[in-house]
Amino acid sequence: VPEVDLETAVSRPDLGSVCAVRTFLLLGDQNAGKSTMLHSFCREGDPSFMQLSSLLPVLSGSFLNTRLVPRSALGPGADLNQNLSVVRDELPFMDTDIARGVVMLTLENFAFFCNEFGIAGYGAEPGQEKEGQREGGFHPDVRFVALQFVELGGDHLDRLLRFASSGGDLAAVRGAERAAAGGEEEEEEDSAFWADIHEVLLGSLRLLKDTTRTVYFINCAVLLPAGVLNPVAL
């Protein structure tokens, strides 16, 4: 990618005072269904979309995902304009590094869903409750609720763990990925990529530090191969 801006993916949508925003962070194993879940809210052509809408009436939904790879990883002569991205190396999975999904509901449908499934604390953010709010902690002007899901996954999550365990040493991350690629020399364009990635890694760590709502997805095919627990996967 020519430029990486994590703030674009995790910024709070500006939807006005009539719409409350609730943000959730999704983490998890590779190919565990994180992107699939986010994409399902706007995949109107899917046969299961009507069933989903009957459970959670969605007014609008959006989904954006990206893969973060250096130019050298694409190989010589790679066509970056292909309809099927050349960086998806685990088809048919979406192979997402960072994704953002936004789902908008009416306040009434959101409150009904939370009450139906016993989800408490769905109104005001912790520490932001104020007098005069309606039941559930929402401001009287609020008519809609936007659920924003931010996903950190795929190779980016592995890169983030390596970055954190090395004490923020970007050179260690680059060296590990170069070794995994067979020790190939990096292209000159990769220097700009890694400068961007450094900012993305720092931003991801800040996001993890500040988050109060995190959902972790487990790939049971890795955790329970042949129906038996794999301790290595823990």
Secondary structure, 3-state, the chain: CCCCCHHHHHCCCCCCCCEEEEEEEEEECCCCCHHHHHHHCCCCCCCCHHHHHHHCCCCEEEEEEECCCCHHHHCCCCCCCCCCCCCCCCCCCCCCCEEEEEEEEEHHHHHHHHHHCCCCCCCCCCCCCCCCCCCCCCCCCCCEEEEEEEEECHHHHHHHHHHHHCCCCHHHHHHHHHHHCCCCCCCCCHHHHHHHHHHHHHHHHHHHHHCCCEEEECCHHHHCHHHCCCHHHC
**pLDDT score of 1:** 36
Local confidence band at 6 (pLDDT 50, 70, 90 cut-offs): low
Under 8 Å between Cβ of 200 and 207: no
Rounded CA-CA distance 210/231 in Å is 30
Min mean pLDDT across 36-50, 181-195, 212-226 is at: 181-195
Local confidence band at 145 (pLDDT 50, 70, 90 cut-offs): very high
Rounded CA-CA distance 135/206 in Å is 32
pTM of the full structure = 0.74
Local confidence band at 163 (pLDDT 50, 70, 90 cut-offs): very high
1-15, 118-132, 189-203: which is most confident:
189-203
For residue 41, is pLDDT > 60?
Answer: yes
Mean pLDDT, the chain, as a whole number?
A: 78
**pLDDT score of 153:** 83
AA letter at 102: V
Taking the C-alpha atoms of 25, 28, 31 and 32 in order, what is their torsion angle to the nearest 10 degrees? -90
Q: What is the mean pLDDT of residues 41-61?
A: 84
Taking the C-alpha atoms of 175, 179, 183 and 184 in order, what is their torsion angle to the nearest 10 degrees? -70
Share of the chain above pLDDT 90, in %: 9
**pLDDT score of 89:** 62
**pLDDT score of 84:** 54
Local confidence band at 170 (pLDDT 50, 70, 90 cut-offs): very high
**pLDDT score of 105:** 92
Tokens of 32: 């565990």
Tokens of 1: 């990618």
